[in-house]
Structure 1
Amino acid sequence: MLFMLAQTDAPKYVSATPDWAAAAWAKVQAKYAVTVPRVGEKIPYVPTDEVYTDVGADDIYWWTNGFYAGLLWELYSHTGDDQYAAAAHQQADRLDKALHGFVGLHHDVGFMWLHAGVADYRLTGSDEGKRRGLIAANVLAGRYNPVGRYLVSWNEDRPGYVIIDSMMNINILYWASQVTGDPRFTEMAKAHADTVLAHHIRPDGSVYHIVNFDPNTGELVGYPQGQGYAPESSWTRGQAWAIYGFALSYRHTGDARYLDAAKRVANYFLANAALDDNEIPIDFRSPREPVYSDTSAAAIAANGLLLLGTQVDALERPLYEDGALALLKHLTEAHTDFDPAHDGIVQGATAEYHSAENREAAFRIAKIVVTISLSVIIADTVPIQNANIITIPDAAYQTVAYMAKKGIIEDSSAWHAAMAKTNGGRNLHTVRDLAMLLNTANKHSSAVSSANTLKKEQMPHQYTANGLTIINVPSFHTTEKSVYLTYIRKLNALVADIRGPFVLNFSGNVGGSPSAMILGLYSLIPNGQLWTSVARNGKGQQVHLSKNGLRGSAAEYLGTDVKTIIGKKNLHTKVAVVMDNHSASAAEFTIMSLKHNPNVKIFGLPSAGFTSENSGQTFHSPLSDNSWKIITWTTIRTDHWVRCSSVLNAQGTHQFNNAPIMPDVLVAEPNTSDSSNTKQPPVNPTVLTEIKKWFALT
């Protein structure tokens, strides 16, 4: 059974949503709703005369080529608008030329396919997105130098170059280990992070952009000139990459050294930012005049600071949270172009201190790199979903804690082992990861993304086979009231119109809403107690059926709207119930309820064995008016096991804990899988033959 309940107490990246952030997010949505169709299949970088050119046509290997896809997935995850998913897929399709061309690839495969592939997999479960991400991860792993314990950043004649930006790219390696179970990717990422920590981070928290190693011995060679003012200076975007990158590595590994590094660099960054009222220069150690700013450094640092704020104790958190918000507020007020007629959004990013061309171009409008700040500008309007974080929302961790506290744990040793392996759920990276962890505790516990659950519901349907009238009772999950009542009304009407014995087909019904099915079959089920839900603490709650609806436990539904739909009782007609090993959850509860009727007999195979109740927790975008249609994540937790009070076995009562229901007449031959009548499988002729024998008895 699936019940979607609004989440109201999820942990946040900031303590309260600033009004300016909510206003900025509304403007962002309005702008991209217009500009995304205009951009089309172009891979944007820097606009010319406020119109994006197509950098993919000039250099398909360019390091920022995945950022626009990430922005599109960001928009899709928060709005549910399919145009953004379609546009992101177009970007990924174009980038396949680079992925399979190979020769121009570099360490920025992480930047490119965390956004163009992994984000797709995280949000939709796309096998193609996963494949792209794993290819990119293997390409990056192939750049590992085992002598120096680092990943080579660039190509050509620089086999010893390691740049600070690399701390962002290694996140695709952490992800690859998570989805494949192969620890080699993570070990390479950790070795690289250790090397960067030892050689790039200075004691005061400032950062080298480039470190050069001897590729044959791994020994330090020197510090080449990078994109900042000088080799020994402090290029601000590099500072930002370090904050964000080490915070992410701490998130993936739990290694406190990475947290300490992120804090050291963050403290240095915030101290310098305060000197210029959050107008971030290209380099903190550059001449005061002329003033060259870099908004991309501010945006990236803010992302990292917000993440860091969730990783420190409550007394430290305000330093990083307030610092991030100050940076973002300054960006939105001084450097953001919300005009839908103009491509791009954040102005004033700079590629390189000593390149006048790059400075001037960037001042026209920011590079796509600063779109990383989108999810932070709206930080507590919606959860951060940046592809580099490649983790499920923090709010989902509450589900793991709830499961541990109140859920029904079927195999405690397996559950505790899984909890230890995932650091209590904190190291989860996809919805699938969360589903697997919950499933370890109880097979009826899972997690799904709304992208995979939004579908058109099938309605009950009647057909005739072998001279028998058959009503298909399909799965039903929708919580929309009008559709819910339509399902009940349709099922009641079909039952009321039949004269004589008939068949209810639950084959292929995987569950959903038990109240919709039970109230739809109200005339066939005696009023009174149907079952007792028993919680982990042993307390039970009885579930009752009456003319007012269904009362008790998570299946409850009461209302005058139901009283006008349900029909009169008909407990004297023979009803054959057909189930198979796919009949599950709500279908099983409905079949249990039907067994209170002495004229009901079950035919077919044992049911799936999901005879437990669960309650759901839904995470909404606050801008969605809590509409279930744009839910970001839906988590399902098993809270109860069920005891059926009807006679289901020789003992008179049967207590279930995900045990299957056994049919009264076992028919081993499975139902066929195709049907012109409905998506449900039709009842197998062998089953119908057995049913006809029973109907023929007086």
Structure 2
Amino acid sequence: MKTLLWKVLATTATTLLANAGSPDNRTDTSVLDETYIERELSAAAEQIKTLIRATPPDSFPTTFEHGKPFFSDSRSWTSGFYPGTLWYLYEYTDDTELKEEGRRKLGVLEKEKNNRSTHDLGFMLYCSFGNAWRIAKKPHDAEVLMAGANALASRFNETVGCIRSWDFGQNRWQFPVIIDNMMNLELLNWASRMSGEERYQELSKSHADKTLANHFRPDHSTYHVVDYDTVSGEAVQHLTYQGIADESAWARGQSWALYGYTMMFRDTRDSVYLDQAVKVATYLLEHPGLPDDLIPYWDFDLAGTPGTCRDVSAAALNASALIELSAFVDAGRRARYMNTAEAILFNLGKAPYRAKPGEAGGFLLKHSVGNFPGGTEIDVPLSYADYYYVEALIRFGQTMGFLTTNE
């Protein structure tokens, strides 16, 4: 394999678990060793070929419901996850079929680089072209990313200090900013490193700072939507769009916050962001409604309510974010975060969450929730759950010394 380089560990995962204590290891696990990670990535690469065969040339898979796959066009906020997953899996299997499909999908997606009507260009372009650039280093991929960063930057409002999230719902809000938007800042941070222009990261930091000031409650849970007055720049409403209530803790929103502030610390080394990521992690890991298998209900305020769906996409995000966050904290937290991430990945890798070969149309994970209040994508596979699951497996392997990656 070209980049799948297996190493001998001086410190094994067993030692890590022995040092971790047990506060968050509330389920039996077997150690995710080198063989496990290799097997899961190889199985994922084979399973996604079912999606390759089913996906129309100009479309992107989103979910699998009622026995059939559903697709979007390139304008969907989820369009970058499928090609991004293909590139991740190609890197770790050297399977050219995955690379070729990933490159074809980039060709369909490229036109979104000039799309100024969405804040989701980080999801759409950085997860796809960003991985392609990191792995293949084709100059054209970097050019697409830079164009996308400029389109994203065009949505920044100087008075508010944030990037506008949505253009719809004008009767409900003036300038909506959702916690999800933290994820798109990674594209701006990359653009600053690539171009040497500080302005991209200045916009990113402004957005992150304003979000930190206005999105979080005293317990460090996050609102989904904050509406700003475009004249004063002040926050005027705290709302939800995908949670059960305005004051509830929508599970994936908490995960976006954890991942987003961890990423912002990695890219800026501003300790304010690290502090916030740790606070969000504490909220998540110590929440009394977090199930024993660490796969959250789709809204934390519904924990324990009979019939409430889990959200596997939030769990996959948490695992990936905790693995990265573990590199930035003291030894006690490091062990706790890695122990928790390992338990999440172990549980996602088996029933009822992991799809069997030939099941779920080629998706990897079942039982995610897209938008419950909107009545869409409830208790189904989702492309972004698969993306962050594969990313988390890779990050775990890298952190434990099993894998190396292109940087």
State the TM-score, normalizing by the size of structure 1.
0.51
2:43 aligned with 1:27: yes
Aligned to 2:104: 90
Give the 5 Å matches for 1:102-501.
102=115, 105-156=117-168, 157=170, 158-272=173-287, 275-277=290-292, 278-286=294-302, 288-333=305-350, 334-340=352-358, 342-355=361-374, 357-358=375-376, 361-363=377-379, 365-376=380-391, 378-379=393-394, 382-383=397-398
Deviations 1:469-494 (A, max 9, x none): xxxxxxxxxxxxxxxxxxxxxxxxxx
- Cα pair 1:24 1:377 within 8 Å, conserved: no
Change in 2 beyond 3 A, CA 1:185/1:377: closer
C-alpha deviation, 1:335, in angstroms: 0.7
C-alpha deviation, 1:324, in angstroms: 1.4
C-alpha deviation, 1:274, in angstroms: 6.6
- Cα pair 1:35 1:340 within 8 Å, conserved: no
- Cα pair 1:46 1:362 within 8 Å, conserved: no
SS at match of 2:125: helix
Unaligned residue ranges in structure 2 (runs of 5+): 17-30
Deviations 1:649-692 (A, max 9, x none): xxxxxxxxxxxxxxxxxxxxxxxxxxxxxxxxxxxxxxxxxxxx
C-alpha deviation, 1:23, in angstroms: 4.1
Structure-2 separation of matches of 1:180 and 1:64: 26
Specify the code of the residue in structure 1 equivalent to 2:122.
Answer: G
Paired residue for 2:52, among 36, 44, 68?
A: 36
- Cα pair 1:295 1:350 within 8 Å, conserved: yes
Deviations 1:338-389 (A, max 9, x none): 313532111111122323x32xx432x31111023333553467438xxxxx
Specify the code of the residue in structure 1 equivalent to 2:63.
Answer: V
Structure-1 separation of matches of 2:129 and 2:290: 39
Deviations 1:196-219 (A, max 9, x none): 111112221211111010012101
- Cα pair 2:80 2:127 within 8 Å, conserved: yes
SS at match of 1:207: coil
Structure-2 separation of matches of 1:21 and 1:81: 17
2:117 aligned with 1:99: no
Structure-2 separation of matches of 1:76 and 1:313: 34
Structure-2 separation of matches of 1:22 and 1:82: 18
Farther-moved stretch of structure 1 (129-138 vs 288-297):
288-297
Deviations 1:444-465 (A, max 9, x none): xxxxxxxxxxxxxxxxxxxxxx
C-alpha deviation, 1:52, in angstroms: 2.5
Specify the code of the residue in structure 2 equivalent to 1:137.
Answer: A
Paired residue for 1:70, among 84, 104, 110?
A: 84
Report the RMSD for the aligned CA atoms in angstroms: 2.7
Change in 2 beyond 3 A, CA 1:54/1:274: closer
Structure-2 separation of matches of 1:135 and 1:178: 14
Specify the code of the residue in structure 1 equivalent to 2:162.
Answer: Y
- Cα pair 2:63 2:69 within 8 Å, conserved: yes
Structure-2 separation of matches of 1:290 and 1:236: 16
- Cα pair 2:239 2:246 within 8 Å, conserved: yes
Change in 2 beyond 3 A, CA 1:11/1:106: farther
State the TM-score, normalizing by the size of structure 2.
0.85
Change in 2 beyond 3 A, CA 1:633/1:67: closer
Give the 5 Å matches for 1:628-643.
632-633=405-406
Structure-2 separation of matches of 1:633 and 1:242: 26
SS at match of 2:246: coil
Change in 2 beyond 3 A, CA 1:241/1:337: same
Q: Percent identity?
A: 29
Q: Which has more strand, going by share of residues?
A: 1
- Cα pair 1:21 1:377 within 8 Å, conserved: no
- Cα pair 2:113 2:125 within 8 Å, conserved: no
Change in 2 beyond 3 A, CA 1:362/1:140: same
C-alpha deviation, 1:139, in angstroms: 0.8
Farther-moved stretch of structure 1 (110-119 vs 246-255):
110-119
Deviations 1:315-345 (A, max 9, x none): 2112211111222222222211031353211
Specify the code of the residue in structure 1 equivalent to 2:142.
Answer: K
Change in 2 beyond 3 A, CA 1:135/1:202: same
Larger radius of gyration: 1
Structure-2 separation of matches of 1:375 and 1:68: 11
C-alpha deviation, 1:20, in angstroms: 5.0
- Cα pair 1:40 1:87 within 8 Å, conserved: no
Structure-2 separation of matches of 1:63 and 1:295: 18
Change in 2 beyond 3 A, CA 1:185/1:221: same
Structure-2 separation of matches of 1:78 and 1:255: 32
Specify the code of the residue in structure 1 equivalent to 2:274.
Answer: L
C-alpha deviation, 1:48, in angstroms: 3.8
- Cα pair 1:13 1:383 within 8 Å, conserved: no
- Cα pair 2:290 2:296 within 8 Å, conserved: no
Structure-2 separation of matches of 1:24 and 1:273: 31
Deviations 1:490-541 (A, max 9, x none): xxxxxxxxxxxxxxxxxxxxxxxxxxxxxxxxxxxxxxxxxxxxxxxxxxxx
Structure-2 separation of matches of 1:52 and 1:219: 43
C-alpha deviation, 1:40, in angstroms: 5.7
Change in 2 beyond 3 A, CA 1:275/1:294: closer
Structure-1 separation of matches of 2:372 and 2:51: 30
Q: Which has more helix, going by share of residues?
A: 2
C-alpha deviation, 1:108, in angstroms: 0.3
Deviations 1:46-80 (A, max 9, x none): 12444433311xxx311001110110110111112
Change in 2 beyond 3 A, CA 1:12/1:246: farther
Structure-1 separation of matches of 2:121 and 2:222: 23
Structure-1 separation of matches of 2:161 and 2:150: 16
Structure-1 separation of matches of 2:266 and 2:284: 20
- Cα pair 1:113 1:136 within 8 Å, conserved: yes
Specify the code of the residue in structure 2 equivalent to 1:95.
Answer: L
Higher RCO, 1 or 2 (CA under 8 Å, sep at least 6)? Answer: 2
Specify the code of the residue in structure 1 equivalent to 2:100.
Answer: A
- Cα pair 1:110 1:168 within 8 Å, conserved: yes
SS at match of 2:302: coil
- Cα pair 1:273 1:279 within 8 Å, conserved: no
Change in 2 beyond 3 A, CA 1:195/1:13: farther
- Cα pair 1:242 1:265 within 8 Å, conserved: yes
Farther-moved stretch of structure 1 (339-348 vs 161-170):
339-348
SS at match of 2:398: coil
Structure-2 separation of matches of 1:375 and 1:11: 23
